[in-house]
Amino acid sequence: MTQLNIHIQCTDSLQLTYLLGEGVGASGSLALARQFWIADLSGRNATKLTTDTALYETPAWSPDGSRMAFGSNRGGRSGIWLLDAAGDVAALNTGLPEDFGPRWSPDGRRIVFFSRIDGMTQLFSINADGTELRGITSGSPGDYDPDWSPDGTKIVFASKRGDSPGIWVVNVDGTAPIRLTSNSRGDSNPVWSPDGATIAFTRVGSRNRYSIYTMKADGSAPAGLATFILIPSLAHPAWSPNGRKIAVTGRLCKQADNCQGVIQFGGIDGTGYTPITIPGVIGDVAWRQRR
């Protein structure tokens, strides 16, 4: 007797959310308004999700695909907002001065993010209804870009702590921080694979080229996905819900004055990456699993 495990996932149940706009200056700083769009995996059937003049960043869909958390300067300060299936947008009021980079817990009940306080960034989590704010890290010169482990027990994040910036992991209550990587040029944007075995992240290499790397969850076996060199890259790598693909947005430059906005996604072995050219696409990309 042979046991077969078959995984079926309909591609029309998946969508990609991304940013369109001219919102990146020559130095990589956010400059102008840019808007969220959502489309199918081919880039077709695109629908605009936001229509105002605010800045937007880091879209993150709840596990059930019903709500999107994101960062924005709507209302005059950098904060976290929630967009529901009806298109209504509401602020997630944390009581902190500046909030960035939201990511949902696996059960969809809490959101982890980082906030700038007294010139430093620290990690926090909060219920999706704005209650029970909890600090995760403190005293570091800068902790940012958090993401939940699939079992909900740990947070992976980028940090400036120690003698070199890198990727760290910590328990959700802030205990037992462990360094996973060290890179003098910078590692950032870590995201956990759905099975919890792998972490993808952005690494800055020579000539300030940005590449997507993967490593095991304990920090071992780092591997670069060489076909993902983007200049500049402002994007988190984003795992597909089944963990078989990674997507990222950026500007793919054949020459210094010949750059195109692209979304690339493909197999996690570094092969099969196919760019979808969408004029003006910038920033982060997020998968949405429609239920």
Distance (Å, whole) CA 91 – CA 19:
19
Q: What is the pLDDT of residue 271?
A: 60
CB 290 within 8 A of CB 45: no
In the chain, pLDDT over 70 holds for what percent of residues?
78
pLDDT in tens, 77-107: 899 999 998 899 999 999 999 999 999 999 9
What percent helix, strand, coil does the chain show, rounded to 5? 5, 50, 45
Other CB atoms within 10 A of residue 104 CB:
21
How many of the other CB atoms lie within 10 Å of CB of 61?
Answer: 23
Residue 250's pLDDT band, with cuts at 50, 70 and 90, is low
CA-to-CA distance for 259 and 251, rounded, in angstroms? 6
Query: Which domains are assigned to the chain?
Result: 11-289 (2.120.10.30)
pLDDT at res. 257: 57
Query: Which pLDDT value is given to residue 118?
Result: 85
Band the pLDDT of 165: cuts 50, 70, 90: confident
Q: How much is the pLDDT for 235?
A: 62
- Contact (CB, 8 A) for 184 and 218: no
> CB under 8 Å to 152, separation ≥6 — which residues?
105, 106, 107, 172
pLDDT tens for residues 38-85? 988 877 888 999 888 788 889 999 999 999 999 999 888 899 999 998
Question: Distance (Å, rounded) from C-alpha 257 to C-alpha 209?
Answer: 16
Residue 231 has pLDDT above 80, yes or no: no
Q: Check residue 106 and give its pLDDT.
A: 97
> Comparing C-alpha atoms, which of 178, 130, 121, 132 is closest to residue 154?
178
Taking the C-alpha atoms of residue 128 and residue 273, their distance in angstroms, rounded to an integer, is: 34
Q: Please give the model's pTM, rounded to 2 decimal places.
A: 0.87
Instruction: Give me the chain's average pLDDT, please.
Output: 83
pLDDT at 170: 98
- pLDDT score for 168: 97
Name the more confident of 224 and 145.
145
* 237-247 confidence digits (pLDDT tens): 899 998 988 88
DSSP code per residue over 155-191? EEEEE--TTS-EEEEEETTS-S-EE----TT-EEEEE
